[in-house]
């Protein structure tokens, strides 16, 4: 039985020869099958590439949107920080004016109990009450002391350490985040272990670890004046101790949020920070002989 086949005739244009090529049916079907398979493969590749390109386009669009939202968030965060700094400055000025002119805030309760708001105090209010009671306890210890503080000795009048003023009071860039921040005191550089002296007579109302301050000592000098000494490596004073101007209360360190050994020194009036430079500018440097140093 002869096999069916296709005949392909080829003719030479110059010589006029004819050439017949027999192509079996199976070969034709195989070629058609391969062509169909190739077409489906090309179509699948094109579809996959189109789908991938669509996903990449969506990803790029989402990335641009995320960058835009991040930029807007950073702008809003910067604005909030500026408003907080302005609020802190206004509160500081208000406290200074209140202290300077002897203005007392008059507290009036609401006429309706519904206007009183939350009955339970917040964490910040509880912490403020705790600090107030702790300060009141220190003042009670001071009143029971046999030695009374004079107005002159209770004013900060010496440098707490011998060193170079490296950070001023007020607006600055945070050394860790690089964003704007309000610096509540001044930074004085000195080797680790340098003796830190209290700048006026007073009562120690805090001596412990306090977050970014690290090891912190706070001294109450009466008349609403307090001084704070932060980033200490060691304590030489405890809560309730009565200290005299020039007494050693600690040693320079680098505890808390600190980039190196130095003393963070604050002066607070009425609970708000004021520029310590006004006291340092007219203060004398305490020069012990020999210089006291407490190595780690």
Domain span at residue 12 reads 1-102
Position 89 in a domain? yes
Distance CA 100, CA 102 (A): 6
Distance CA 197, CA 245 (A): 7
Tell me what pLDDT residue 242 has: 92
Domain stop point among 69, 102, 135: 102
Strand runs (DSSP E) across 177-280, as ranges? 180-183, 186-189, 195-197, 202-209, 215-222, 225-235, 242-243, 248-252, 262-269, 272-274
Of residues 227 and 259, more confidently modeled: 227
Taking residues 226-244, report their average pLDDT: 93
Tell me what pLDDT residue 211 has: 86
- Cis peptide upstream of residue 290 (ω within 30 degrees of 0): yes
Tell me what pLDDT residue 256 has: 87
Percentage of the chain with pLDDT > 90?
22
Residue of 24, 19, 18, 29 lying closest to 6 (CA atoms): 24
Position 109 in a domain? no
Position 225 in a domain? yes
Q: Are residues 89 and 164 in the same domain?
A: no
Q: Are residues 86 and 180 in the same domain?
A: no
C-beta separation of 156 from 276 below 8 A: yes
Q: Are residues 279 and 164 in the same domain?
A: yes
Cβ within 8 Å of residue 278, ≥6 positions away: none
Q: Record the tokens describing residue 278, joined without a space.
A: 């006004």
The predicted-structure confidence for 48-69, as pLDDT tens digits, reads as follows: 888 888 888 888 888 889 998 9
Distance CA 74, CA 220 (A): 39
Q: Are strands 225-235 and 262-269 parallel, antiparallel or unpaired?
A: antiparallel
Q: Are residues 245 and 171 in the same domain?
A: yes
Tell me what pLDDT residue 145 has: 44
Tell me what pLDDT residue 111 has: 44
Q: Record the tokens describing residue 217, joined without a space.
A: 């000592």
Mean pLDDT for the chain overall: 76
Q: Are residues 162 and 95 in the same domain?
A: no
Tell me what pLDDT residue 281 has: 79
Q: How many residues appear in the chain?
A: 296
Q: Record the tokens describing residue 35, joined without a space.
A: 């062509």
CATH code, domain carrying 248: 2.70.70.10
The predicted-structure confidence for 86-143, as pLDDT tens digits, reads as follows: 887 777 767 666 665 555 444 344 444 444 444 455 656 665 665 655 555 555 555 5
Position 34 in a domain? yes
Tell me what pLDDT residue 113 has: 41
Tell me what pLDDT residue 234 has: 92
Position 60 in a domain? yes
Taking residues 25-53, report their average pLDDT: 84
Q: Are strands 284-285 and 158-159 parallel, antiparallel or unpaired?
A: parallel
Q: Are residues 90 and 170 in the same domain?
A: no
Does the pLDDT at position 45 exceed 60? Answer: yes
Taking residues 140-151, report their average pLDDT: 49
Q: How many domains does the chain divide into?
A: 2
Domain stop point among 102, 124, 145: 102
Tell me what pLDDT residue 199 has: 92
Position 44 in a domain? yes
Angstrom distances, CA of residue 238 to CA of 53, 205, 295: 69, 8, 20
Domain stop point among 55, 71, 102: 102
Position 291 in a domain? no
Q: Are residues 1 and 95 in the same domain?
A: yes
Q: Record the tokens describing residue 135, joined without a space.
A: 């300060």
What is the per-residue DSSP string for 132-155?
HHHHHHHHHHHHHSSSPPPTTTTS
Q: Record the tokens describing residue 124, joined without a space.
A: 């910040």
Q: Out of 44-58, 100-114, 225-239, 268-282, which region has the weakest mean confidence (pLDDT)?
A: 100-114
Position 108 in a domain? no
Please return the burial class of 263, using the count of CB atoms within 10 Å of its CB with bins 0-12, 13-18 and 19+: buried
What is the per-residue DSSP string for 48-64?
HHHHHHHHHHHHHHHHH
Q: Out of 73-87, 106-120, 202-216, which region has the weakest mean confidence (pLDDT)?
A: 106-120
Cβ within 8 Å of residue 156, ≥6 positions away: 199, 200, 221, 225, 227, 267, 276, 279, 283
- CA–chain centroid gap for 204, Å, is 28
Q: Are residues 93 and 174 in the same domain?
A: no
Full-model pTM: 0.48
C-beta separation of 180 from 173 below 8 A: yes
Q: Are residues 164 and 92 in the same domain?
A: no
Tell me what pLDDT residue 110 has: 45
């Amino acid at each position: 039985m002869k096999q069916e086949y296709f005949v392909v005739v080829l003719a030479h244009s110059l010589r006029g020869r004819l050439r017949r090529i027999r192509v079996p049916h199976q070969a034709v079907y195989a070629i058609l099958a391969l062509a169909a398979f190739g077409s489906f493969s090309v179509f699948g590749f094109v579809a996959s590439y189109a789908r991938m390109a669509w996903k990449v386009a969506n990803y790029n669009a989402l990335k641009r949107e995320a960058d835009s939202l991040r930029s807007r968030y950073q702008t809003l965060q910067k604005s909030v920080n500026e408003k907080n700094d302005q609020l802190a400055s206004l509160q500081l000025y208000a406290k200074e004016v209140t202290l300077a002119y002897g203005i007392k805030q008059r507290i009036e309760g609401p006429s309706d109990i519904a206007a009183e708001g939350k009955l339970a105090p917040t964490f910040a209010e509880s912490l403020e009450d705790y600090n107030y009671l702790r300060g009141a306890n220190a003042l009670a210890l001071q009143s029971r002391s046999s030695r009374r503080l004079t107005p002159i000795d209770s004013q900060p009048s010496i440098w707490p350490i011998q060193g170079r003023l490296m950070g001023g009071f007020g607006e600055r860039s945070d050394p860790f985040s690089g964003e704007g921040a309000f610096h509540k005191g001044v930074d004085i550089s000195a080797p680790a272990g340098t003796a830190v002296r209290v700048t006026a007579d007073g009562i120690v109302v805090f001596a412990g670890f306090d977050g970014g301050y690290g090891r912190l000592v706070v001294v109450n000098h009466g008349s609403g004046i307090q001084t704070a000494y932060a980033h200490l490596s060691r304590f030489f004073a405890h809560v309730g101790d009565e200290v005299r101007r020039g007494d050693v209360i600690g040693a320079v360190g680098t505890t808390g949020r600190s980039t190196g050994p130095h003393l963070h020194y604050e002066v607070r009036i009425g609970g708000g920070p004021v520029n310590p430079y006004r006291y340092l500018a007219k203060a004398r440097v305490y020069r012990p002989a020999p210089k006291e140093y407490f190595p780690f």
